[in-house]
Structure 1
């Protein structure tokens, strides 16, 4: 129930944050460095201390934003254990991880989120981009002329467009990156 409420809040927050794109200058202030991530392992009863330590070690190399889903009846050594990473929010990563975990689960109990991967020093901000999108923004967004960055809230895909029609180009690049069908402008100048 708590996860459902957190996910619903995340959807509402992400929708509000993406309703109006921010400028490149505003985005620079909101984004975290694209490298370092931290892992939060949730206090679920079916994980031992060794499981928690193993998860923290393995998942610490995943790009942010991420989530780990586990089938409680099957434990960590199951094909249903899924880490979804490089999304634009932990809520989107949690939905992705849970969906795949549920498809692969053989146990009776539904899959549960057991951890999150966030940028080091994470605090909620109006704009969040995946580690890869943040890196792309910093490397390729530019500082002059029309430019835009579009994101897929569901898949973590993204694209940049520049020049005349930058917004449309960014949306097309995002949609082309893995067939994302929900791309919206996140940053535009």
Structure 2
């Protein structure tokens, strides 16, 4: 899910679905989140501090990209939030920022939002998918590209629910199934 900021990993890949019990042991709580500011040399200290305050309200996994030529307060500043990995959020934010920028320099990630106490795990879900895991019974499918997810009694229903949430979610796969 991408949100224009002004409105507002090379992590382990999941090669096959895990059970609900295994998922429960791997997932972080849906909140709180922590923010890492990567804006050294790109953002003045006051803007970095403001960005940290705003970014903490983004659902994890999130990344904020800016055009170095245009600065933080630009239409090209993009927050991609509620993805299943920080890498997916960063890729989405950079792509949208680069599409909107007017300057010559490529966009850069200036902030990342992860679950508090984050460490690499074989299963990572967005904050919203993690919260919906409370309603899990059967299967949960995710889209690595869009951050979409869906629940269903069967794997097929979960994939259909994931795809129905976002038209661009053409890569939905089962992440959790009994």
Normalising by structure 1, we get a TM-score of 0.87
Q: Which runs of 5+ in 2 are unaligned?
A: 1-8
1:58 is aligned to 54
The Cα of 1:44 is off from its aligned counterpart by 3.0
CA distance in 2 between counterparts of 1:112 and 1:27 reads 32
Q: Segments of 4+ in structure 1 off by > 3 A?
A: none
> Which of 35, 42, 65 is equivalent to 1:39?
35
Q: Distance in 1 between matches of 2:56 and 2:75?
A: 19
Unaligned 5+ segments in structure 1 are: 1-6
What is the CA deviation profile of residues 45-80 of structure 1, one whole-angstrom value per residue up to 9, with x for unaligned ones?
Answer: 121111110110011100000001000010001010
1:114 to partner: Cα distance? 1.0
Query: Post-superposition shift, 1:117?
Result: 0.3
Shift of 1:81: 0.6
Look at both structures and tell me which one has the larger radius of gyration over its CA atoms: 1
Q: Greater share of helix residues, 1 or 2?
A: 1
Once the two structures are superposed, the pairs formed by residues 71-110 of structure 1 within 5 Å of their partners are 71-110=67-106
1:173 to 154, 157, 161: 161
2:146 to 155, 158, 175: 155
Report the counterpart of residue 3 of structure 1 in structure 2. none
Instruction: Name the structure 2 match of 1:127.
Output: 123
CA separation in 2, counterparts of 1:43 and 1:100? 18
Give the CA RMSD over aligned residues. Answer: 1.0
132, 135, 141: which one aligns with 2:136:
141
Q: Determine if the alignment matches structure 1 residue 24 to structure 2 residue 12.
A: no
The 3-state SS of whatever aligns with 1:129 is coil
Greater RCO structure (CA 8 Å; 6+ sep): 2
Q: Please give the TM-score of this superposition, normalised by the length of structure 2.
A: 0.92
Cα 1:43–1:101 shift into 2, 3 Å: closer
